[in-house]
Chains A and B, each alone.
Chain A
């Protein structure tokens, strides 16, 4: 999965996270990152990109949550 996080104090919570896409391989995600790093907004904050791999059909949050 490829995200971009835009950090700016003016934003609610100080950041805005965008999910760019879900890909079947890291290579495809990297291609998407390369492509998106040239477009408005994203090109000014290339450090905001993040690729993270997840298995499908698997829980990634496995319990309840608490607020701390």
Chain B
């Protein structure tokens, strides 16, 4: 049984190999992999390595960091395309850099998983997390830009990391050991990161400064003729386009 399994309540002690859709190998037994393939690392030495690496390698890519974290023989899979840092000493919040992030609180620790902000069909997306040295809202979604270090990486249109975006961008500080009690590499769940839109809207993206609502109205007016459409309720073309626009603006 995984020696640290008791510390990780969102998976079972036996999940680390049996339910492993990514083929992740964990010879050390120090990582936990849940049924969705998310990897949780809360080993003190690994956290220290991670924090030290970030502090000495600003501008490192996601792949650099992942390679460092999942170093030789540990079976790193580049299909993992999100990272979250967990902490209990201070609150974590996402900045406005990359849009919305889901923040959940569990077991006294604050876990943030960032939402992908797709920048266009050919562009890609990025995940941003901010870490603050002082307490911010524990479960809020939104911007808090004081003293943040951003951790992010760019993904290609398939959702996998590419190298040309810095993983760590220093703002006013870097993650400290006291602020960090773990981090999570995860596979993109798809939830909140993609949605279905009418096929006629393929590739359409909001214009600069355009809200999701404005985006949806513009597209519907262009497609059906101005005002020649109806229904804005849940499940409607308007509603789907609005959500898509809000996520991609």
Chain A residues in contact with chain B, CB under 8 A?
A: 1, 3, 5, 9-10, 12-14, 17, 19, 50, 52-55, 60-68
Contact = CB atoms under 8 A, between A and B. Distances in A.
Contacts of B234: 3, 5, 17, 19, 50
Contact of B231 (A5, A10, A52, A64): A52
Contacts of A67: 194-197
Interface residues of B, number: 27
A61 B237 contact: yes
Q: Provide the main secondary structure of the chain A interface.
A: loop
A54 B231 contact: yes
B234 to A, nearest CB: 4
Contacts of A13: 191-192
A42 to B, nearest CB: 15
B230 A60 contact: yes
Contacts of A61: 198, 236-237
Contacts of B36: none
A63 B202 CA distance: 11
Given A54-B233, A60-B230, A66-B202, 14 more contacts: A3-B234, A9-B102, A9-B103, A9-B139, A9-B141, A50-B234, A52-B231, A54-B231, A62-B200, A63-B198, A63-B199, A63-B200, A65-B198, A66-B197
A68 to B, nearest CB: 6
B155 to A, nearest CB: 14
Given A3-B234, A9-B103, A60-B230, A68 B244 contact: yes
A37 B157 CA distance: 43
Contacts of B201: 66
A65 B230 contact: no
Nearest to B205: A68
Contacts of B198: 61-66
B232 interface: yes
Contacts of A50: 232-234
Interface string B223-236: 00000001111111
Interface in B177-229: 191-192, 194-202
Nearest to A53: B230
A10 B232 CA distance: 25
Nearest to A50: B233
A33 to B, nearest CB: 13
Question: Which one of B103, B118, B121, B195 has the highest number of Cβ atoms from chain A below 10 Å of its Cβ?
Answer: B195
